[in-house]
Amino acid sequence: MTNYFSSDFKLGILGGGQLGKMILYETRKWDIQTKVMDGSKEAPCKIACNEFVLGDLLDFDAVYSFGKDVDVLTIEIENVNVDALEKLRDEGVTVYPQPEVLRTIQNKATQKLFYRDNSIPTSEFSRFAYTSEIKESIENGGLRLPFVWKSARFGYDGQGVKIIRNISDLEGLPNVECIAEQLVDFKNELAVIVSRNSKGEAVTYPVVEMEFHPEANQVEYVICPARINEKVAQKAQHVAKQVSNAFEHVGLLAVELFQTQEDEILVNEVAPRPHNSGHYSIEASYTNQFEQHLRCILGLPLGKTASKVAGVMVNLVGSEGHNGNVVYENIEDILSQEGVTPHIYGKKQTRPFRKMGHVTIVNENMGQARLVAQEVKEKIKVISK
Amino acid sequence: MTNYFSSDFKLGILGGGQLGKMILYETRKWDIQTKVMDGSKEAPCKIACNEFVLGDLLDFDAVYSFGKDVDVLTIEIENVNVDALEKLRDEGVTVYPQPEVLRTIQNKATQKLFYRDNSIPTSEFSRFAYTSEIKESIENGGLRLPFVWKSARFGYDGQGVKIIRNISDLEGLPNVECIAEQLVDFKNELAVIVSRNSKGEAVTYPVVEMEFHPEANQVEYVICPARINEKVAQKAQHVAKQVSNAFEHVGLLAVELFQTQEDEILVNEVAPRPHNSGHYSIEASYTNQFEQHLRCILGLPLGKTASKVAGVMVNLVGSEGHNGNVVYENIEDILSQEGVTPHIYGKKQTRPFRKMGHVTIVNENMGQARLVAQEVKEKIKVISK
C-alpha cells in the first residue's frame, strides 16, 4: 500500500477549474501533495495545490512534461492531450481515467459507437464526417427531422449542440465531424455517478434528477434523490454501472441519462470525472464525490455513497447583460435560510451563463429543500458592477 | 453589506495550524481573500491562503504590521499579542474576537475571576502570584488537598496543568502566576460551542461529551450529541450562552464544562475560536464550526447548528516512542468502514501525543458510530519510520 498521507507521493491534476478546486479540498484534508496544470493564470486551483503550472492542456509537450514527475495523474476536464497521457502511462505513470477511455469519450461519435458495441441503451444516431453531409442525407430520406446535431469534438456546457427542426436550422453550424441524434421524448433527465477502482469494485451514487435552463442548456437544479420510482432508479443505476464496467473505467464516471415516456433508460453522455450533478454530495452524502474520486484512483476502499439528507443544487451562472468584475447580490439573504451553502468558484469575471458557483440546499425533507432552492434561485444574482 | 465574495476584502488570521487550515476550506469555498501569519515555515496553512507571513504571534511589531492592511482580523490560537490587536482595533481594523476578551481568557486567573464576577458557575479556586505561595497556604490551612494546579498563562493541550494530591506533587512546577482549583467530582466532561455575532444573536451547537486520554490529558473521543438527559443538555447550553453573552463575544466560543455528580454544570475553561470539540461538525452538522465562525465575524446570518447525523471524533496523536517523519498505519483499513473521514493536518514530524489529525465517524445511529470509533482508535497508528 502506497503511503499517500503527508508523504512524498504526488498527484497530478490536469485542469485547474472549479472541479479541481473541490478535489483540492480533499487532497488538503488528507495532506496529499498535488501539482496542477491549467491554461489560465487566474485558475481557481492556483492556490491550495502544492505546485501550479501554467500550460496548455491540449499541447503534447506541456502535458507530457507536466506528468513526468507525478505518481498518479488525473484530470478535472476531459479535453486534454491524450497522446501525452498514453506516453506517460507507457513510461510508468499511473493515469486515471485511462487514456483510451478519454479518447473514446472525447469524440461523441466514437462514444456513441462504444455504447452500441457494448449493448448499452442509447438513442439512435448517425455519424457524419462533415456537417455538410447532413443536408444530403435528409434529402435522400436517410435522416428524418427533427434531430439533435452535436459536434463530435469539444462539446462542453451547451456548446456544440443544437436541435434541428428545419433544414434552415443547419445554417451557421461549423462544418465538422458530427452526429445526428434522435430527439428523445423524455420524462426526466437523470444522472448517476459511478465510482470504480482498479480492482473492478464499482459503487453508484443515488440517481439525481436534473432540470435544465431552457436557454443556456445548463443544469439549473440537481435534485437528490430523483423523484422517480424505485424500479426506474434501479434500472438507471444498473445502466450506469454497465457503462463504467464496459470502459473498465477507474475513477468517477458521471452518466447522464434520459428516462423516456415508456420508462426506458437511455445513456445520453458521460463525463469521466467529478461532475456538476454530484456537487450536492459535499453537503448531503456520507462520502462526497471528490473524496470518492481520490479513493478510486488511489486504490483506497470506496466510501459510502448514500445520503445523510436530501439535497438540491442550484448553479450560479452569470446573468445576461453582465460582463466584468463579479458581484453576488443577496447572498446574505440566502444565508439566512437553513441548510443553504453557497460555493463561489473564484472566477473574478462574470459573463452571461458562465458557471460562477453553486448553492447546495440540504434538508431532511426533500419538498422543503426544493422550496428553498427556488427562493435561492430567484433571489441571488450574479452580476457585474 | 460588505461584499466578501471574490472581492478585494481581506481576512487576516493569526495562527496557521490545523484550525486555520480548516478555516481556509471555508474561505476558499466562498472565495474570501486571506492572509495568515504563523511562526513556522511548515505551518499547515502555508498553502490555501492568499498570502502567508512568517512571524512571531506574540511579537507586537509582527502582529501590528501583519494586521494593518486586513479588513477583519481573527485568530485560530489565543496566545497572540493583544496590545497589537488593541492598537489595530483603535486604528479601525475589525478584530474578532475582541482584544479584551482574549486578554481575559489568556490568563486563567482573570478568566476565573470573570466567571465569578458574572455569576457564571465554576469550581472554587484560589489565585497565587507564584507557585511557591501555595505551600504556605496549605500549611496555614487556607488551601486543602487535593486540587488542580494551573499556570495562569499559556496552558495549552495539557501543558501547565497538574493534579496535586500531596505537597510533594508541587515539586518541579514552574514558579509562576497560577491558580489552585477545586478538584471537581464530575460525571461527564461536556462542551458547548456558542456562535455569536456583533448584533448579539447567539446560537449554540448541541452539547458534546468528551473522553480524555488519561496520560496525555488530550481529548480522545468527542461524541455528539452527548449521551445525557435533555434537562442537563439545556442547562449546559444555557450556561455556555451566558458566558458568551457576558463577554459580548463575537465569533465562536467553545465552552468546556463539568457535569457534576449532582448534575450541576460548571464552566471549566473556554476557547474563543473553532475548537477540537467541534471538528465533528464538518461531517455531521448543517453548518460546520469553521463556516459558522466566518458567519459570526463577518456579520453574516448564523447557520443552522443542528446535526444531520450522529458524530464521534477521534484525535490522531503521535504514538509514544515515535519521533520523526510521520507514517499513518492502517488508514486504508479504517477507510473501508462506512462513514469514516480522516483529516490529516499535514505536520510532517510526529512526536508523542502531538495532534497530527483527527477522524470523524458519522452514522444515523450513535451506538454504531461509537463502535466504529473504537475500532478506528485501536487500528490507526501515528508512528515514524
Interface ipTM: 0.94
Residue A216 pLDDT > 80: no
For the segment B209-257, what is each residue's pLDDT rounded down to a tens digit?
Answer: 998 766 766 678 999 999 999 999 999 999 999 999 999 999 999 999 9
Q: ω into residue A206 within 30 of 0, thus cis?
A: no
The answer to whether the Cβ–Cβ distance between A308 and B303 falls below 8 Å is: no
State the CB neighbour count (10 A cutoff) for residue B6.
Answer: 23
Q: Which of A49, A309, A343 is facing B29, going by the closest CB pair? A: A343
pLDDT higher than threshold 60 for residue A156: no
The residues spanned by each domain of chain A are 10-95, 124-182, 186-384
Binding residue per annotation — B183? yes
Taking domain A10-95, whether its CATH number is 3.40.50.20 is answered by yes
Residue A348 has pLDDT above 60, yes or no: yes
Q: Is the pLDDT of residue A345 over 90?
A: yes
**Cis peptide upstream of residue B97 (ω within 30 degrees of 0):** yes
> What is the fold, at CATH topology level, of the domain defined by A186-384?
D-amino Acid Aminotransferase; Chain A, domain 1 (3.30.470)
Q: What is the pLDDT of residue A1?
A: 64
CATH, domain range B309-385: 3.30.470.20
A362/B308 touch (CB, cutoff 8 Å), yes or no = yes
Count of CB contacts below 8 A, A vs B?
108
User: Given an 8 Å threshold on Cβ–Cβ distance, is A28 in contact with B25?
Assistant: yes
What is the pLDDT at residue B160? 87
> Is the model more confident about B220 or about A118?
A118
- Between CA A277 and CA B36 the distance in angstroms is 34
**What is the distance between the alpha carbons of residues A25 and A51, in angstroms, rounded to a whole number?**
15
The per-residue pLDDT string of chain B (385 residues; one tens digit each, 9 = 90 and over) reads 679 999 999 999 999 999 999 999 999 999 999 999 999 999 999 999 999 999 999 999 999 999 999 999 999 999 999 999 999 999 999 999 999 999 999 999 999 999 999 999 999 999 999 999 999 999 998 999 999 999 998 754 456 899 999 999 999 999 999 999 999 999 999 999 999 999 999 999 999 999 876 676 667 899 999 999 999 999 999 999 999 999 999 999 999 999 999 999 999 999 999 999 999 999 999 999 999 999 999 999 999 999 999 999 999 999 999 999 999 999 999 999 999 999 999 999 999 989 999 999 999 999 999 999 999 999 999 999 8
Check CB contact of A327 with chain B, cutoff 8 Å. Answer: yes
Interface test with B, best of A332, A355, A358 (most B CBs within 10 A): A332
> Scanning the structure block, which residue is given the C-alpha cell 474576537?
B97
Nearest-Cα distance to chain B for A60, in Å, is 29
In this prediction, residue B2 carries a pLDDT of 78
Q: What is the mean pLDDT of chain A?
A: 95
Return the residue of B nearest to A343 by Cα.
Answer: B29
β partners of residue A33: A10
Distance from CA of A281 to the nearest CA of B (A): 11
Q: Is the dihedral of CA B326, B329, B332, B334 positive or negative?
A: negative
Fold (CATH) for A124-182: Dna Ligase; domain 1 (3.30.1490)
Tell me how far apart the alpha carbons of residues B181 and B58 are, in angstroms, rounded to a whole number. Answer: 27
Q: CB contact, 8 Å: A9 with chain B?
A: no
Residue A186: φ, ψ to 5°: -110, 155
Task: Out of B50, B338, B342, name the one closest to residue A286 (CB).
Answer: B338
Q: What is the DSSP letter of B256?
A: E
Cα B226 from Cα B168, distance rounded (Å)? 37
Whether the Cβ atoms of residue A40 and residue A16 lie closer than 8 Å to each other: yes
Average pLDDT over residues A355-372: 97
In contact, A300 and A281? CB cutoff 8 Å = no
pLDDT digits (tens, 9 = 90+) for B39-49: 999 999 999 99
SS3 B215: coil
pLDDT of residue B270: 97
Tell whether omega for the bond before A214 is within 30 degrees of 0, i.e. cis. Answer: no
- Closest chain A CA to residue B337: A303
CA gap A339, A364 in Å, rounded: 10
pLDDT at residue A215 above 80?
Answer: no
A308 with B308: Cβ contact below 8 A: yes
Query: How far apart are alpha carbons B109 and B112 in whole angstroms?
Result: 5
- What is the sign of the dihedral through the CA atoms of B57, B63, B69 and B73? positive
Are residues A28 and B21, on separate chains, in Cβ contact within 8 Å? yes
Cβ distance B335 to A300 less than 8 Å, yes or no, reads yes
Query: Cβ distance A152 to A181 under 8 Å?
Result: no
Q: What is the pLDDT of residues A129-140, one digit of tens each?
A: 999 999 999 999
The nearest CA of chain A is from the CA of B150 a distance in Å of 34
Using the Cβ of A355 and the Cβ atoms of chain B, whether some distance falls under 8 Å is answered with: no
- What pLDDT is recorded for position A219? 72
Contact A67, A73 (CB under 8 A): yes
Q: Residue A154: what pLDDT?
A: 76
Q: How far apart are CA B192 and CA B233, in angstroms?
A: 9
Q: Give the phi and the psi of residue B190 in degrees, each rounded to 5.
A: -120, 165
pLDDT of residue B316: 94
What is the band of A346 on the pLDDT scale with cuts at 50, 70, 90?
very high
* B332 interfacial to chain A (CB closer than 8 Å): yes
Question: Does B189 count as an annotated binding residue?
Answer: yes
Mean pLDDT of A105-116: 96
Segment A27-62, tens digit of pLDDT: 999 999 999 999 999 999 999 999 999 999 999 999
Length of chain B: 385
Of residues A30, A50, A343, nearest to B342 (C-beta): A30
Q: Determine contact, residues B160/B154, Cβ cutoff 8 Å.
A: yes
B32 → chain A, closest CA residue: A346
Q: What ranges make up the beta strands (E) of B48-124?
A: 51-54, 72-75, 94-95
- In chain A, residues with a C-beta closer than 8 Å to the C-beta of B330 are none
CA angle B131, B135, B140 (to 5 degrees): 135
Backbone angles phi, psi at A33, to 5 degrees: -70, 135
Give me the pLDDT at residue B217, please: 64
Written as nine digits, the cell of A355 is 458557471
With beta carbons less than 8 A apart as the criterion, state whether A274 and A293 touch: yes
Which of the four pLDDT bands, split at 50, 70 and 90, describes residue A212?
A: confident
Q: Which triple of cell numbers denotes residue A362? A: 440540504
CB contact under 8 A, B343 and A29: yes
Task: Give residue A290's Cα distance to chain centre.
Answer: 12
Nearest CB to B304 within list A30, A327, A338: A338
Of B28, B286, B364, the CB nearest to A339: B286
